[in-house]
Homo-oligomer: A and B are copies of this chain.
Amino acid sequence: MGRVSDAKMRLMDAVLELLWTGSYGSTTIDQICEKAEVKKGSFYYFFESKSELAAEALAASWQDRQAELDRMFSPMVPPLERLRKYCDFSYKIQQEIKQKYGRVLGCPQFALGAEVCTQEDRLQKKIQEILDYKRRYIESAIRDAHAAGLVHAPDAAAKARMILAYYEGVLTQARIQNDVEVLRDTVGGMFAMLGVKEETAAAV
């Protein structure tokens, strides 16, 4: 009962866009409100701080993303093909982003995580959680690839951490250089790290 509103959602959309196209420290509550067309009084009705809004918005956007990852990393998909799909997907997303904003923006969690990790503990926890979810998708693909004899990776967890670091590193490099082409052969680096033979790689 009572009045209904989508202001909360508009605030979450606004903050995500501002964080991604700019940075956490440079986006103000006033800016967020202006972009969301919400008065500051309403902002404080829904959230108690910028960091709380950011954490909630990140969590919500991860929910959406997760559904897509579930499809890409389905056990029905051959394990190495999962990684390829993931890289193709990132490449496509970044191309669209560049079309839309005139800039490659990379991975919002990773960029934000590196920025706020020494300052915003609550937000930081949420980001670590999301990055850990990502790692698990990769880890299960590696484990399946190992079981199928496609790669030799007895320690799938360590390999997954390595590959995630590489993946995020490449995306961040693309952001810094504002160049999607950096992402062209991301999967090549992953396969090299896993010691996938060239013939196998080509077949995937």
Which B residue sits closest to A102, measured CB to CB? B118
- Whether B177 contacts A173 by the Cβ 8 Å rule is no
Is A114 at the interface (CB under 8 A from chain B)? yes
C-alpha spacing A194/B167, complex, angstroms:
16
C-alpha spacing A182/B117, complex, angstroms:
16
Minimum CB–CB distance from A111 to chain B (whole Å) comes to 5
- The listed residue with most B CB atoms (<10 A of its CB), out of A24, A110, A175, A192, is A192
Q: Which residues of B contact A158 (CB under 8 A)?
A: 185
Is A79 at the interface (CB under 8 A from chain B)? no
Minimum CB–CB distance from A170 to chain B (whole Å) comes to 4
**Which residues of A are at the interface with B, using a C-beta cutoff of 8 A?**
21-26, 103, 105-106, 110-111, 113-119, 124, 127-128, 131, 158, 161-162, 164-170, 172-173, 175-178, 182, 185, 188-189, 192-195
Contact of A176 among B113, B173, B175, B192 (CB under 8 A): B113
Contact of A131 among B23, B176, B178, B188 (CB under 8 A): B176
- Whether B168 contacts A110 by the Cβ 8 Å rule is no
- Whether B103 contacts A111 by the Cβ 8 Å rule is no
